[in-house]
Amino acid sequence: MDLSTLRHSAAHIMAQAVKRIYPEVKLGIGPAIEDGFYYDFYRDEAFTPEDLKKIEKEMKKIIKQDLKFERREVTRTEAEELLKKAGEDFKLELLYDIPQGEAISFYQDGEFIDLCRGPHVESTGKVKAVKLLSVAGAYWRGDENNPMMQRIYGTAFESQEELKEYLNLLEEAKKRDHRRLGRELELFDFYDEIGPGLVLWHPKGALLRSILEDFLKKEHLKRGYQLVVIPHIMKADIWKISGHYDFYRENMYMFELDGKEYGIKPMNCPGHIMVYKSKIRSYRDLPIRLFELGTVYRHERAGVLHGLLRVRGFTQDDAHIFCRQDQVEEEIGKVIEFVLDVLDVFGFNDFEIEISTRPDEFIGTIENWDRATDALKSALERRGMAYKINPGDGAFYGPKIDVKLRDALKRTWQCATIQCDFSLPERFNLEYIDSDGQPKRPIMIHRVVLGSIERFIGTLIEHYAGAFPFWLSPEQVRILPVSERFFDYAEKVRDLLMENGIRVSLDTGSDTLPKKIRTAEKQKVPYMLIVGEREVDSNSVSVRQRGRVDLGSVSLDRIFDVLK
């Protein structure tokens, strides 16, 4: 049985249950989604957790009735009359959007009928395992100028065993929620006084970022990238040339300065283009790879902001490669290899790849779009890498490869993006002097390896449940003296570790040793070094590894072997 069809049928059953209990409710849409389904309802009163229990109970009655799903095709006039009589204003709006000549269908089971393309399972009894999960607000059709709907989320599976396994994963996901762990581990937080979607990094979080950024700089430099830094604000003129002013302005922060219009950069590409344009380039110079840890700002709607995963200000490991036509596929291939190498370092070996193609609104010629898309496909196919096509979801200036990694709970996260662009070099009149002495147009590859540093750290927190590997932990070792008598020796151990590049702290609090250990465990510190009278006498430390693993006594001259 197709799981998507099963879940769409469950959404239909949920709408039927809601109408039975709350007949005044108006219906929106109810699709299947990756992990379940939802249905949007318009109701004056908010749905409560108790309401969800009632709805789920009614759904199970409908499932037990085993009502047959029957498809009815009707004329546009019949559909309009039916929906007007039922008072379903939102469904009427959907009806009016159906193109002329396209079939109009309703699905009915028992007393309930709904405008729907389908398909559905044979009958309600085929939905064996269902669970309602939550309710959230959602603007009708995603437009904040439209009425606010109430979106009830649920999930459905073919068996109770599969449902139970999924619910266990949800519980584990709650424990790993990066927003909660970010506060508990003192990494970052958000403050109303500063504004939504704007992150404040605390010392440990800032150190974690720095470790990541140092790693990225090192990896880029050894692959032939050059570092650049560009301004955070630029005149509107450059955004007009790039096309952002026409295609992306609603996501930009614009303001006036000295009588001129400026924009805070939502992307780094125009600045990197200007670095390329700073002097005449030869075919021998190409490829030129410019890299920046570039902070950008985008006006994301408040309703979609979500911890580190969707913010208004974030930093990208952003690079732009300027190359000749004969170098494009090789450069894309090198970026793919770079991405795979870096993901392997973090323990991500499971991912999926999509190619997003030309959207309805775009710049450049269709011929160049096709050439760019073919280059992306060829680079993947040469490496035997499977991919899906995501139609119409490319950037306005070029198609792209998206790499979506899977974490420890098998959830997907957007990571690397590789875009092939013939359009911006044309708009900015970029050139290089070819071997024949004539000016030629370079091709531009936009790419990020980790993507947003904020989003990637959020992913890492949830993947590792906050228990980072030793090399990535902002606090690698915590020294726990048994009592104040041993502070001097503890400081000696701390200084030794610090001199050798270990990130170490010293707990000088008055708590008992068991409580100090529990605190360090809760804060996910990889190693605890306990010092007392025995350790002082033997010039050693007692080593405890995160996860309550006791490694016993280790002399100071061997401690680095253990930590390595």
Cite the active site residues.
269, 298, 316, 318, 320, 400, 446
Contact 154, 133 (CB under 8 A): yes
At residue 43, φ and ψ (nearest 5 deg) are -150, 140
d(CA 9, CA 7): 5
Structure tokens at 230: 């560009």
Paired sense of beta strands 226-227 and 288-297, if any: parallel
d(CA 380, CA 332): 9
Q: Is 261 helix (H, G, I), strand (E, B) or coil?
A: strand
Close Cβ partners of 516 (under 8 Å, ≥ 6 residues apart):
480, 507, 509
Structure tokens at 492: 């000696």
Structure tokens at 404: 């979506």
d(CA 472, CA 351): 22
d(CA 128, CA 177): 30
Structure tokens at 372: 């760019």
d(CA 354, CA 249): 26
Other Cβ atoms within 10 Å of 403 Cβ, number: 24
Strands (E), 220-334: 226-227, 233-235, 253-257, 260-264, 288-297, 313-323
Q: Would you list the DSSP string of 127-140?
A: --EEEEEEEEEEEG
Structure tokens at 412: 């997907």
Query: H/E/C letters for each residue in 458-474?
Result: HHHHHHHCCCCCHHHCC
Other Cβ atoms within 10 Å of 263 Cβ, number: 23
At residue 218, φ and ψ (nearest 5 deg) are -60, -45
Q: Is 326 helix (H, G, I), strand (E, B) or coil?
A: helix
Amino acid at 166: Y
In 3D space, the residue among 179, 206, 300 whose CA is nearest the CA of residue 248 turns out to be 300
d(CA 323, CA 183): 44
Strand 400-406: give its sheet, edge to edge. 226-227, 288-297, 313-323, 443-452, 412-421, 400-406, 351-356, 388-390
Paired sense of beta strands 32-33 and 226-227, if any: unpaired
